[in-house]
Every structure is written in C-alpha cells, then in structure tokens.
Amino acid sequence: MRDATGTVAVVGTGTMGQGIAQVALLAGHTVRLHDVAPDRAAQAAEAVLGRLDRLVDKGRLDAEERAAAAARLHAHTGPDGVGDLADADVVVEAILEDLGAKQQLFTALEQVVSDETLLATNTSSLSVTAIAAALRLPGRFVGLHFFNPAPLLPLVEIVSGHATDEATAERAVKLATAWGKTPVRCADTPGFIVNRVARPYYAEAFRVYEERAADPATIDAVLRESGGFRMGPFELTDLIGQDVNESVTRSVWDSFFQDVKFTPSLAQRRLVQSGRLGRKTGRGWYDHTPGASRPEPHTARPCPAPEYAVPHGGLGPAAALPALAAEAGIALRTPAATAEGPTTPGDTTRHGCLELPGGALLRLADGSQPRGREIHFDLALDYRTATRVALAPADPASVADLAEATGFFQALGKAVSVIEPVPGMIVARTVAMLADFAADTVGRGVAGAGDVDTAMRLGVNYPVGPLRWCDDLGADWVADVLHNLHREYPTGRYAPGRSLLRRKGAES
C-alpha cells in the first residue's frame, strides 16, 4: 500500500465481503463497498455499521472510533463499471464462485486502478492461477482467503498463483498482519491448506458411518471427547451446510483428477439430494427443528473394574494407561506372575497390549481388524484428560470380555462407547490420515510445516497441528496404522504417502 491508511475496495457484499470490509475499516482504512445490484452495497454498509454499534454496546469499541469508521465507509453501486474504485490501493473480491465472473471483474478493474494496486481474491474453491490468467499484470494478483466470520477468525491463507510475484505475496502477508490476522503462505493448489488437509476429518467419519460401525452422535462424541476436536464432523457439516461441505469435497476431488484419497461420501450425497442440508434447512445428519431432541452417543452401562491387568510390551501412544490404571486401583501384574500367558499365542509380539483377568487383550487401534479375543481401544489426544474412549471387540470376544474392558476404562473415569470392529476405529484412522495429508502438503511444496499446523489450528480449531501430532505419536506409528488400513482396504486410499514415509525414515 502507498500509505498505512490507504483505500481498500471490497467487491461483493455478502457475509464474507461485509466481514472483510469490517476488518479493513477497523484497521483504519477508507473502505469502498461495491456491488452491482442496486442498493445492495448500501444495505451492506448499514449491516457493517450495525455490527460496529454492537461492539460499542459491548465495550469493545468506543463511540468516537465508531464515528470515525463510519466516515471512512462508502457504498458504491456499479452496474456500469467499477470506476468509483480507481483510488483503491487494495481490491479484495468476494463475489460468487464463478471463474468467468471473477476474470471479467478483474479485467475491468485493471482498466481503472493503478498498476501498483494489489488485486486479491477471497476464493475458496477456484484456482488463483486461473483467475489471474486473464490479467495484464498477473504478478500483482494474490489469494487472500479469509475464514467466516472474517472479523473473528484470525487465519488468512495467502495464496500465490503461478504468476504471483514474491513481492506481492510478501505485501499481502504484511497487510493481513497489520489487520490483526495470522497469515499463512501457500502455493495455489486445490483446497489450499485447510480445505485440502481437512478432507479426512469428514471422510473417515462418513466411512465409519457407511460401514455401520457407529452412529453420527457416537462418532462425534468420540472425536470430541477422546480426540479433543472442538466439534464432531457430523455436527460441523450440519453447521457449515451439507451442500457447501460436499461441494468443497467434490471440487478438491475433481481438481486432483478424482484421486481415491479424496473420494466424496455417498451418504453425504444422498443427504444433499434429499435437501437435508443441516441447520439452515432444519435437518441434516441431525434434526434441528424447534423442540427436536439431540440423539445421545452410545454409552455403555457401568461394569465392574477388573482386579488387575497385565501389560505386555510397549503401548506406544497409550503408554500412560498402566499408570492411570494403577492410580484407579487396578493392580498391574507382570507376565511372569500369571499362571498362563496371553490367550492368543504370539499376539504380544505384534504390538503391546493389556491382558485382562479373563484372558481378553486390550490393544490400541492400529488400523488392523481386531481378531481372536482382542478388544481394540481408540486413540486419545491425552488419555488422562479424555472423557470418553471407544472400544471395538473382535467377533470371538465374549460379553464377559467386553464387560471387563468396559470396566477397565470406566474405572479410569471414562465414558465408554462400543462400536463395531472397524479397522482403525474412529480417532486413530482420522488422525493418521490428517497427518498423511499434512505431510503430503509440505512434501509437495504447497506450504511449510509450521504454516500447515497453524492453519489447521486456527482455521478449523484442531486441538494440535497434524504434523505436531504426528511427531508426538511417532511417524512410524502413523505409517503403520496406514499400512494396516491399506491391507484391509487395498484401494490406495490409505497407502501412506512418500512424504510421511520419509518422515518415518528420519526418525529411525
């Protein structure tokens, strides 16, 4: 920008355009709101000022600042062009997601603004490179992808198209920082960072549901209460809108030439086709009509705690369980102190487990199908603070075996959800896939590791960045989960990527 309080033009006055205008306005800029529809820009300006009034009422903005901001806000209706935006130092576009419409807009803008004006698109699904292809000076064009609501969410993805100059990207980073945002940089790729890396969070939950391993309420509860995620994928997509979420998924899938790793969900497709789009229509995965009750997750009835457990080998990411069991009054015995060894010969050499008094084996979900008298338990972000744990018993496991396993975790203060024996369960397969997608994003030069983790924490409220999570779990453990899933589902969907395997190799 030519000065610290230069003019920012926002073209498109929907929810996102209004939010971006508010951010720029409160940063001290003169803001020009532009829309081709009569009166729409004026209505948007009134809506922005109404939000400022609410900030004043809450004590977060003083009346003088509000008055000064109102004096800097101008509404423009331009059915015949964008000539009123000629003095803009920055133009941010937030119109409909149509490539032709965006190209036409920016071509018109180039005819009236200075050659030094920064041109930016807020697109979430189109290629920044493709939009810039119609421009005379594509080097000054960049993606500024805000997240809704723009005034509240701190993340902005700074997306460099194929022709974007480095100086342009750096200028965009400085601008977003001056606006109080946290910018992350990435190359132009389908979904950018957040919408690319986040696909497995929805896809794996939908796959577990499609296999009838668990219902939406239980899957959501496990991911929240065990995985530490803010919202489960079913409730989150109901909030976003099933049509919006599925459209992003299909766009990324098509853009990656229908790569099997990005395959959309048939169950979600049927939901969209039925018009059950979530909260905005009253029904989605859940019933949101007035007075409707929310379904409860499956929670096992209380069972007595086992007297003891016998740890065999290391438990990897679940290494805290023996100590938690001891604190809960469950005795820990060494294998030599038992009359008999593990019920399933040889299984303790595959990976660690906890043997229960009746002979059942508790194993951390590893992407394989539980077998024999195994009962798999799901991954937790932190087994000490998790409030729920999911169990998946192998078919030969008895009712008594499951009761002992349930009592074990209930003694640790956890609610227990029993699901069908699906490979990788819920949290383990989701986190493994998120880590793989994140590693692939870095490996392909789309973004740096720090920016990927920052984007996922701030953009979609993940409890920890997926690459940091991968490091905490161990890339070898993550890769092993995916190898096992790949053996169970030999389609290529779960084959670990080269970047994750290199990360695994770097640990050894």
> Which residue ranges does the chain devote to CATH 3.30.750?
308-335+350-418
> Which residue ranges does the chain devote to CATH 1.10.1040.50?
428-505
Phi, psi of 121 (to 5 degrees): -115, 145
CATH class, range 308-335+350-418:
alpha beta
In tens, the pLDDT along 356-380 reads 999 999 999 999 999 999 999 999 9
Strands 90-93 and 155-160, bridge-based pairing = unpaired
> Which residue ranges does the chain devote to CATH 3.40.50.720?
7-188
Q: Which two tokens stand for residue 389?
A: 């744990």
pLDDT higher than threshold 80 for residue 462: yes
Q: What is the mean pLDDT of the chain?
A: 94
In tens, the pLDDT along 33-46 reads 999 988 899 999 99
pLDDT higher than threshold 70 for residue 59: yes
Whole-number pLDDT of residue 38: 85
428-505 topology per CATH: N-(1-d-carboxylethyl)-l-norvaline Dehydrogenase; domain 2 (1.10.1040)
Q: 335: burial class by Cβ within 10 Å (0-12, 13-18, 19+)?
A: middle
99-106: average pLDDT: 96
In tens, the pLDDT along 377-435 reads 999 999 999 999 999 999 999 999 999 999 999 999 999 999 999 999 999 999 999 99
SS3 readout for 476-493: HHHHHHHHHHHHHCCCCC
Whole-number pLDDT of residue 506: 83
DSSP conformation class of 434 = H
Q: How confident is the model at residue 132 (pLDDT cuts 50, 70, 90)?
A: very high
In tens, the pLDDT along 148-174 reads 999 999 999 999 999 999 999 999 999
Whole-number pLDDT of residue 214: 98
Lookup result for tokens 């979420």: 245
Task: For residues 132 and 159, give the distance between their C-alpha atoms in angstroms, rounded to a whole number.
Answer: 12
pLDDT higher than threshold 60 for residue 350: no
Q: Within 10 A of 188 (CB to CB), how many other CB atoms are there?
A: 21
Q: Please list, in sequence order, all residues whose beta carbon lies within 8 angstroms of the beta carbon of residue 100, skipping any fewer than 6 positions away.
A: none
pLDDT higher than threshold 70 for residue 80: no
pLDDT higher than threshold 90 for residue 349: no
In tens, the pLDDT along 283-340 reads 999 999 999 999 999 999 999 999 999 999 999 999 999 999 999 999 999 886 444 4
Q: How far apart are the first and last CA of the chain?
A: 48
Whole-number pLDDT of residue 505: 84
Lookup result for tokens 């395959």: 263
Q: Tell me the CATH number for domain 7-188.
A: 3.40.50.720
Q: How confident is the model at residue 222 (pLDDT cuts 50, 70, 90)?
A: very high
Angle at alpha carbon of residue 386, lines to 385 and 388, rounded to 5°: 150
pLDDT higher than threshold 70 for residue 71: yes
Closest CA to 213 of 317, 286, 298: 298
Number of alpha helices (DSSP H) and beta strands (DSSP E) in the chain: 19, 15
Q: How far is CA 477 from the centre of its chain?
A: 22
Whole-number pLDDT of residue 335: 84
Whole-number pLDDT of residue 341: 46
SS3 readout for 215-270: CHHHHHHHHHHCCCCCCCHHHHHHHHCHHHHHHHHHHHHHHCCCCHHHCCCHHHHH
pLDDT higher than threshold 70 for residue 198: yes
How far is it between the farthest Cα atoms of the chain?
88
pTM for this prediction: 0.94
DSSP conformation class of 399 = H
Active site residues: 124, 145, 157, 195
